[in-house]
Amino acid sequence: MAKFMIKFSYSHGSWARMIKVTDDRTSAVRSLLESLEGSLEAMYWDMHDCASYVLADLPDVVSAVAVMTVAAKTGAFMTVEAHELLTEEQMHAALTLAKFAADAFHAPGSSAIEHPDTGNGAAGRPLVNIAFGAG
């Protein structure tokens, strides 16, 4: 099973309905996951983003897309996102693969940044900042 973090960003109308009729959203999510041979590990609420975060085990990414599609079709959410989570061991394996594959790929325009007199920063470094994280 693969581990996923799924974010359900509820619409304003959904919040209005949940205030009027409080139901068990955890049971609803658990039922959806189990219908796809998955399981619910935990569900948390983020009041700042008006969202719930679900940690789930699902058979594969296709099942995660099915979760997003089922939720999106209801119109109850502004966005639904699923992110596959990696264990430390999986991340090390990915880095090992990347190490061996690194020479097979070059960045767009890399020939321009390899020459110090083509507009690069000090000491021939490119004027690029790279950040990883949610966009």
DSSP 69-129: HHHHHTT-EEEEEEEEE--HHHHHHHHHHHHHHGGG---TTHHHHTSTTSS--GGG--S--
Report d(CA 7, CA 5) in Å as an integer.
7
In CATH terms, the fold of domain 2-85 is Alpha-Beta Plaits (3.30.70)
Question: Which regions in the chain score pLDDT beneath 50?
Answer: 128, 130, 134-135
pLDDT reported for residue 63: 97
pLDDT reported for residue 133: 52
pLDDT reported for residue 112: 77
CA atoms within 13 A on the CB side of 38: 28
Residue 110 tokens read as 């890399």
pLDDT reported for residue 135: 45
**CA dist list (Å): 1 to 4, 56, 81, 91:** 10, 9, 18, 16
**CA dist list (Å): 12 to 50, 51, 53, 77:** 9, 11, 17, 9
Its pTM stands at 0.75
pLDDT reported for residue 115: 58
pLDDT reported for residue 62: 97
Q: Which one-letter DSSP state was computed for residue 54?
A: E
Residue 100 tokens read as 């061996």
Element (H, E) at 42: strand 39-46
Among residues 127, 103, 101, which one has the least CA distance to residue 113?
127
Could you tell me the residue ranges of all domains in the chain?
2-85
Residue 26 tokens read as 């955890």
